[in-house]
Amino acid sequence: MRILLAPMEGVIDAPMRQLLTALGGYDACVTEFLRLSDGELPERTYHRHCPELAQGSRTAGGTPVILQLLGSDPELLALSAERAVQLGATAIDLNFGCPSRFVNRKAGGAALLKEPQLMAQIVSAVRHALPDDIPVSAKMRLGYDAPDNAVDIALALQEAGAGFITVHARTRNDGYRAPARWQWLRPINDALKIPVIANGDINSVDDWRRCQEISGCQHVMLGRGALMQPDLALHLRAWHEGREITAMQWPDIQPLLPRLLEHYAPGTRGLSARIKQWLGMLRQRHAGADSMFTQIRPMQDMDSILAKLAG
């Protein structure tokens, strides 16, 4: 069983990757997408996007980091993947799942689900540009507006050279609306020889148990569930191994919020919004987080927010 931490733009960034993976349970984490549309990017952009490149593409705790690229030009993506590996990337993931209208208007992310041949060309170009020991994977959705071609798309990505694929069990038009359609993962998982990683609405051990039964998938990627319950990966692994562990409660989680801020560079903007955003997810699972969110929601001054978090 492999457990991956999902990329979530503006939410699960390098500091959050470091914090969550330090709690344990993850086999790897994937960066937010690095978008390529108008030519090659400078070296500093790669390092700013994925600071873990400077430490062997691992978090401070040693969890491998997979660099994710997004775009629609096979040649540009191949060149960029090659450059990323030269800078220290040890694995490349290709984003065919982002449902953002802005990204899709630029012919990226889930918009490419309408062009499966181009998706396969991108995977093939990147695979052939890199050494054999550098894994290439892809993240996709079930389709653009319907899941009818999901198996054929996944098979094309496998044939093009993807070592594994992650499937968010919704279409592009579904956005993030519940429920995820785990039943559509079953024919994909049955058809492919490479690992299929399930993603979407897996926010608890019970969710994963039901997803596994319905989909047949043996591997999982966590996103919002990891933010609602920071030690969720540990619980999934314990369940898989037939063990039980005690879940973190709000008194255990509250100190993580100021600890997250320690991982940002001095002067980083938007930190109060980041804390409130995380609390907004934690409050779905923890009453203490709900109370804290209500108290700090009107605050803008970081010193006041930190004082409140310190309790």
Residues belonging to the active site: 98
Burial 256-282 (b: 16+ CB within 10 A, else e): bbeebbebeeeeeeebbebbeebbebb
The CA distance from 252 to 61, in Å, is 19
At 118, which helix (H) or strand (E)?
helix 116-129
The CA distance from 19 to 263, in Å, is 8
Which stretches does DSSP call E strand in the chain?
3-5, 28-30, 34-35, 65-70, 92-96, 136-141, 165-168, 196-199, 219-222
Q: Which two tokens stand for residue 111?
A: 């918009």
Q: Three-state DSSP class for 33?
A: coil
Alpha-carbon 109 to chain mean position: 14
